[in-house]
Amino acid sequence: MEILDAIILGIIQGLTEFLPVSSSGHLELGAAILGSQKIPEESLLFTVVLHFATALATILVFRKDIAEILVGLSKLKWNEETQFSAKIVLSMIPAVIIGLFFEEQLEQFFGGKVTFVGCMLLVTAILLFLADKAKNTEKGVNFPKALLVGLSQAVAMLPGISRSGATISTSVLLGIDKTKAARFSFLMVVPLILGKIAKDILDGALTYNGDSFGYLSAGFVAAFVSGYFACTWMIALVRKSKLTYFAIYCTIVGLIAIFAGIYL
């Protein structure tokens, strides 16, 4: 993989991990555009590095929130921080189940299925449009809603379904305050990303050689920087009800992908 290709894919991952346009879908489309020959044998390691970069970007953006949660947990009491952490754990269960028991079935939806990605982008567009039209409230996340948001996160493991778009839209449609919805959406994915990285390392599935250091580093930096700004920007966009713009974008890209998959 060339350094420029790694930077392009890193920027795609950083932007689309937080902006509601599906990072997995765009990486699939990006790989199709660049050509499969651009993706090395260490593609899994490259994907892990990009996701680790976006996880670190999330931690940096929400460093104060995370610090407060850790301080609250250290008190060993059933306080607000402990309850929030419990809701995060509850929201992770659906995605963890799919990741552990249905990984092979999930992988069948990846690998150049451009038409499928396009259809799922249209689903994302519908969710974003509905969420943008929902009235804002000041309600927070309770345990039943955390589980429902977790289910939407599990569905978003399909390429083309935006994880942030699905979880934020589900939260808003459930009546959760838009700012709180964005906060919960971004924080709930960090343990999943770190857990997936740990699983890949323990499974021995990662392949590395010295020649890949350059493009891995370039991809990491690109994903981290773009992810940090995308995360910050997305919080403001959700608060201002600007998701319709992304719904339009997903519709356009989705229709192009469907056309390309059928006719090209």
Q: Model confidence over 67-78: pLDDT tens digits? A: 988 888 888 888
pLDDT for 109 = 83
Over residues 236-255, the mean pLDDT reads 90
pLDDT for 113 = 82
Confidence of residue 123 (pLDDT cuts 50, 70, 90): very high
CA–CA gap between residue 194 and residue 33 (Å, rounded): 29
Confidence of residue 214 (pLDDT cuts 50, 70, 90): confident
pLDDT for 195 = 86
Quote the pTM value. 0.86
Residues of the domain holding 146 = 3-263
Query: Which two tokens mark 72?
Result: 């609250």
Number of structural domains (the chain) is 1
Q: What are the pLDDT digits (tens) for 19-49?
A: 898 877 877 787 777 665 444 445 678 888 8
pLDDT for 37 = 46
Over residues 43-70, the mean pLDDT reads 89
pLDDT for 54 = 92
